[in-house]
């Protein structure tokens, strides 16, 4: 395949180009492949599902140029394809519950009940898929000799943390930071938790895995479209957009016909020492009592009226 294997892209030493959406697309494509094998008229058990057996394709676009020269562009679509069916085995038929066979496969990806008893079922592939799904989430190999203690085995170390939101965010691949919603990550992690169950009866069918991943992918696409639509509505104006005029504040025009006494009063208030200082507390004015100047004017008016009556 043009893009190589999932193992090559996921564990390469250089920067990983697998985003969250690409990883979910790969997981969904691989799940559909296993579901197709399990749902056939004669079920087929893959038996050796691992990241190196998941191949990724690419699309080559050809465009003619001058002088009969053809240029091409390689687009990495990362559609998953299953490869290496050398260990595939026919599944149980009729009343059979399992197929007894010699234990073969890759350490870390084989289901524990298959390793211990040699009983092979379709749920053995579900366990291997859960391991690959966990590698996609964490970004680490299932068996890492460079780690010490429990982290050397990815399943034993990470599976107890998959159902805890805060702990899960800490162990997810940091290369996917900001590319997913915590709710989607928790759903995928819970799906991996079920696939990695030690009890085969507790694992889902691959058809159920496909349905779950399709639902998560549709929700992620709808969320991305909603964010893009929201950004276009509240985005910054373009260069050709005419800027809006800012509203003018209305200013009061000065009255040129003000009296000279008003102007003299303003001058006296502006002179130092004439007005009230900033530290001086304002005088309280009671609305029920007139000021002293108004009271004096009233007294003078009353005196004038009484004098006229006497005369």
Please say if 48 is a catalytic residue.
yes
Distance CA 121, CA 102 (A): 13
Distance CA 51, CA 49 (A): 7
Contact 133, 126 (CB under 8 A): no
Please provide residue 30's backbone torsions phi and psi, each rounded to the nearest 5 degrees.
Answer: -65, -40
For residue 39, what are the CA distances in angstroms to 29, 62, 200, 215?
Answer: 15, 37, 18, 20
Please provide residue 72's backbone torsions phi and psi, each rounded to the nearest 5 degrees.
Answer: -135, 150
Half-sphere exposure of 96 (CA within 13 A, CB side): 14
Contact 11, 141 (CB under 8 A): yes
Look at strands 99-100 and 89-90 and give their pairing: unpaired
Alpha helices, DSSP H, located in the chain: 6-10, 20-38, 112-117, 122-138, 154-158, 165-171, 182-195, 206-233, 260-270, 292-310
Q: Which of 15, 48, 57, 264 is catalytic?
A: 48
Q: Which residues are catalytic?
A: 48
């Amino acid at each position: 395949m043009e893009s190589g294997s999932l193992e090559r892209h996921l564990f390469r030493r250089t920067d990983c180009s697998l985003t969250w959406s690409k990883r979910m697309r790969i997981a969904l494509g691989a799940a559909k492949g296993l579901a197709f094998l399990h749902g056939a008229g004669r079920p087929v058990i893959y038996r050796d599902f691992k990241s190196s057996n998941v191949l990724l394709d690419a699309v080559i676009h050809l465009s003619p140029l001058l002088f009969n020269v053809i240029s091409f562009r390689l687009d990495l679509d990362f559609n998953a394809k299953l490869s290496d069916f050398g260990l595939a085995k026919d599944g149980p038929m009729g009343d059979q519950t399992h197929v007894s066979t010699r234990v073969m496969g890759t350490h870390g990806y084989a289901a524990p009940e298959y390793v211990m008893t040699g009983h092979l079922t379709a749920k053995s592939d579900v366990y291997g898929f859960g391991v690959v799904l966990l590698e996609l989430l964490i970004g680490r190999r299932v068996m890492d000799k460079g780690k010490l203690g429990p982290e050397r085995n990815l399943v034993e170390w990470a599976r107890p943390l998959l159902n805890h939101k805060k702990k899960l965010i800490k162990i997810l691949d940091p290369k996917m930071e900001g590319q997913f919603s915590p709710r989607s990550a928790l759903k995928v992690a819970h799906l991996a938790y079920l696939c990695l169950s030690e009890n085969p009866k507790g694992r889902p069918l691959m058809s159920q895995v496909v349905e779950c991943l399709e639902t998560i992918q549709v929700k992620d696409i709808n969320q991305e479209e909603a964010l893009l639509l929201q950004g276009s509505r509240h985005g910054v104006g373009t260069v050709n957009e005419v800027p809006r005029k800012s509203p003018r504040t209305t200013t009061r025009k000065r009255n040129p016909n003000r009296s000279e006494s008003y102007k003299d009063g303003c001058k006296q208030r502006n002179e130092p020492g004439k007005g009230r200082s900033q530290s001086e507390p304002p005088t309280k004015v009671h609305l029920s009592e007139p000021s002293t100047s108004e009271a004096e004017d009233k007294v003078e008016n009353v005196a004038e009226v009484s004098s006229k009556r006497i005369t």
